[in-house]
Amino acid sequence: MPRKPRVYKNKKYLQPDPKFGNLMASRFINQIMRGGKKSTAQKIFYDALDMISEKTKDDPLSVFDIAMRNVAPVLEVKGRRIGGANYQIAQEVRGDRKETLAMRWIRDAARSRSGKSMAEKLAGELIDASRKEGGAMKKREDVHRMAESNRAFSHFAR
């Protein structure tokens, strides 16, 4: 039986964030948000950007953009069942998924850091990611290493 093509749901229109008018920042705020508390997530994000501007003396949004670009993966592995065996197949990552994975990895790395407030941890992680260091970059390297080691199975990809 042939598989049906995957149908992607239309994305809802997302408002840019109120302070900078940046869509990427708005998506990241939504990633940080827990339990629907958007104002708390915005406060964390904006405090982190203020800390970044104090520490680096750079434009905090450019540091954020550089961090997102550095962490975004190029390859990832997907499981595929072929003839009773499961293979991890290396595949390129779509643009939208790249951003989502980068945001998730930065958020999770910031949450797992030791520190005082979430804003401090997030600021530290964004600065580290913009310098190609930190937990989120380590996660990206692990994913790339996994994809490289499973390159032999790439002929199974459709």
Q: pLDDT tens digits, residue range 10-48?
A: 777 888 889 999 999 999 999 999 999 999 999 999 999
What is the pLDDT, as a whole number, of residue 5?
81
Query: Which pTM does this prediction carry?
Result: 0.86
Mean of pLDDT over the chain: 89
Contacts (Cβ under 8 Å, ≥6 apart) of 140: 70, 71, 72, 73, 102, 105
77: helix, strand or coil: strand
Helices 95-112, 60-71: axis angle to 10 degrees equals 110
State the total domains in the chain.
1
* Within a domain: 140: yes
Q: Which residue has the higher pLDDT, 158 or 63?
A: 63
* Within a domain: 17: no
**What count of Cα atoms within 13 Å lies in the side-chain half-sphere of residue 11?**
5
* Within a domain: 30: yes
In Å, what is the CA distance from 49 to each residue of 57, 65, 86, 112? Answer: 11, 12, 43, 19
CATH code of 123's domain: 1.10.455.10
* Within a domain: 16: no
* Within a domain: 6: no
Q: In this model, does residue 122 exceed pLDDT 80?
A: yes
| Cα separation, 7 vs 45, whole angstroms | 33
- Structural domain including 123 reads 23-156
* Within a domain: 89: yes
* Within a domain: 35: yes
